[in-house]
């Protein structure tokens, strides 16, 4: 078999098509820009319970992703979970007294960390610890409390 | 009674013999790999035969698999009111499993069988012996370029399959069933990691599958009996063994990669 012009063009097209497909998978599907958050500053927050929050969970402000969780650990001294997050550089004017809460996207969705800005004039910087936190809502615990309060109520009514 | 044991013994010995010969054959290919880079035109010719001419079946299958995933995924997800996750579902299943595995199965059927039949016929018509007579090593001249081409074409084919499958899922989910386009892409991007999913799922898996399928196809052709019946048996064995090897290897790779 001799190599014809068609074959050369065909192989060239095939290779570029394959590379284009890989590029599409990297850029459009995996969103390479979202994981390349190496710039920015690290902030920590302590929680009693972090639920299912994990590394790479989004950190949101007013619903906008401003950073990602980079580390989840247990702080033995304080007896609490400590979450370290990297906030993008361009969101550098976040008040120092911002509070952090863990919410769930939808009823069964994944959990994310939400920041609610406070009113202080000084801004968060590298290594700060967020003072005000609100733990994740554990559905089972809420249901348990609800049932318990209902039982107590019911018992109360029965008493003459 | 002894005949039964003799038969078991014979078949297991022949299995081990084939395994050993196959491994030796692979070593010989790997040793001769440098030849392929000395004669890139031979490799180009094989990429045309193995890769470019598999493109149509890969693209059409990819589109339909993606569309079916979109349709089925939508029907299931809509019961839970989370049809926005369709993008993540389609992309995850294609990238991690269906893309590389189906491509490898199609590749074994389309390109692997052709490789075996070609080399088997070369052997049956004594072309390989003729090459040897001329002082050309048939392993280097015939087998090595095909091996490199298979190894090179598989990841590209798998990437094309996956990308077209995702577009097919997009067409079905967003175009026909009315899932929100923004949510489709953004949930997909949230759930798919470049290194963990795209690199490991598509690239590494497909390179491993390309390696195994091409190896089996070339070995079966090279070791086939030089008769028309032998070639047909070798071709069948290629498709069966390569498909089984791909599925088994996929299980192992998935176990190693995603835990």
In this prediction, residues B56-73 reach a mean pLDDT of 94
pLDDT at position A34, please?
52
- B-chain residues near A33 (CB < 8 A): none
| High-pLDDT (> 90) share of chain B, % | 62
Q: A14 and B192: CB-CB below 8 Å?
A: no
- A-chain residues near B156 (CB < 8 A): 14-15, 17-19, 21-22
Residue B249: CB atoms within 10 A of its CB come to 18
Distance CA B34, CA B208 (A): 20
Rounded alpha-carbon distances, angstroms, from residue B193 to A32, A59, A108 = 8, 17, 21
Smallest CA–CA separation between B166 and chain A, in Å?
9
| High-pLDDT (> 70) share of chain B, % | 100
pLDDT at position A108, please?
64
Name every residue in B having a CB less than 8 A away from some CB of A.
Answer: 41, 44-45, 47-48, 51-52, 55, 80, 82, 91, 95, 153, 155-157, 159-160, 162-164, 166, 185, 188-190, 192-194, 197-198, 202-203
Is residue B251 scored above 80 in pLDDT?
yes
Distance CA A50, CA B144 (A): 55
pLDDT at position B217, please?
94
Q: Which of A23-32, A75-84, B22-31, B125-134 has the lowest mean pLDDT?
A: A23-32
Q: A25 and B163: CB-CB below 8 Å?
A: yes
Q: What is the pLDDT of residues A40-79, one digit of tens each?
A: 888 999 988 888 787 778 888 888 888 888 888 998 998 8
- B-chain residues near A27 (CB < 8 A): none
Distance CA A158, CA B174 (A): 56
- Interface check A139 vs B, CB under 8 A: no
pLDDT at position A160, please?
53
In chain A, where are the structural domains located?
Answer: 1-29, 37-144
**Pick from A19, A20, A30: which is nearest to B197 by CB?**
A30
Task: Check: CB of residue A61 under 8 Å from CB of residue A91.
Answer: yes
- A-chain residues near B80 (CB < 8 A): 108
The rounded mean pLDDT for chain B is 90
Q: What is the pLDDT along chain A (160 residues), one digit of tens a residue?
A: 677 888 888 889 998 999 998 888 888 777 665 555 567 888 999 988 888 787 778 888 888 888 888 888 998 998 889 999 888 888 888 888 888 888 887 666 678 888 988 888 888 888 888 888 888 877 788 888 888 888 887 776 555 5
pLDDT at position B114, please?
94
pLDDT at position A154, please?
75
In this prediction, residues B87-114 reach a mean pLDDT of 93
């Amino acid at each position: 078999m001799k190599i014809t012009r068609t074959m050369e063009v065909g192989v060239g097209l095939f290779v570029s098509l394959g590379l284009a497909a890989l590029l599409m998978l990297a850029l459009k599907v995996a969103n390479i820009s979202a994981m390349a958050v190496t710039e920015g500053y690290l902030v920590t927050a302590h929680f009693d319970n972090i639920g299912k929050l994990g590394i790479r969970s989004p950190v949101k402000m007013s619903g906008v992703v401003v950073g990602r969780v980079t580390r989840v650990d247990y702080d033995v001294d304080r007896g609490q979970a400590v979450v370290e997050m990297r906030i993008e550089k361009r969101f550098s004017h976040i008040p120092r007294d911002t509070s952090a809460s863990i919410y769930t996207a939808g009823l069964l969705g994944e959990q994310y960390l939400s920041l609610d800005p406070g009113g202080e004039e000084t801004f968060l910087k590298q290594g700060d610890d967020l003072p005000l936190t609100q733990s994740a809502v554990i559905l089972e615990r809420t249901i348990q409390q609800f049932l318990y309060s209902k039982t107590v109520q019911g018992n109360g009514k029965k008493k003459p | 009674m002894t005949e039964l044991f003799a038969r078991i013994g014979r078949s297991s010995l022949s299995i081990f013999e084939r395994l050993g010969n196959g491994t030796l054959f692979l070593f010989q290919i790997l040793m001769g790999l440098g030849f392929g880079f000395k004669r890139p035109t031979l490799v180009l010719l094989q990429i045309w035969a193995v890769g470019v001419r598999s493109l149509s079946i890969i693209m059409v299958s990819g589109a339909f698999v993606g569309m079916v995933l979109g349709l089925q995924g939508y029907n299931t997800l809509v019961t839970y009111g989370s049809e926005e996750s369709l993008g993540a579902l389609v992309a995850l299943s294609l990238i991690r499993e269906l893309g590389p595995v189906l491509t490898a199965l199609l590749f074994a059927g389309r390109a692997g069988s052709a490789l075996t039949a070609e080399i088997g016929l070369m052997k049956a018509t004594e072309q390989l012996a003729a090459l040897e007579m001329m002082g050309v090593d048939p392993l280097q001249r015939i087998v090595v370029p095909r091996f490199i081409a298979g190894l090179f074409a598989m990841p590209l084919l798998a990437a094309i399959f996956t990308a077209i499958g995702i577009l097919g899922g997009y067409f079905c989910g967003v175009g026909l069933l009315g899932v929100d386009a923004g949510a489709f892409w953004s949930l997909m991007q949230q759930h798919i990691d470049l290194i963990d999913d795209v690199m490991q799922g598509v690239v590494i898996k497909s390179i491993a599958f390309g390696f195994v399928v091409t190896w089996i196809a070339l070995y079966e052709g090279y070791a086939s009996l030089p008769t028309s019946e032998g070639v047909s048996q070798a071709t069948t064995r290629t498709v069966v063994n390569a498909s089984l090897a791909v599925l088994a290897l996929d299980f192992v790779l998935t176990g190693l990669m995603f835990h």
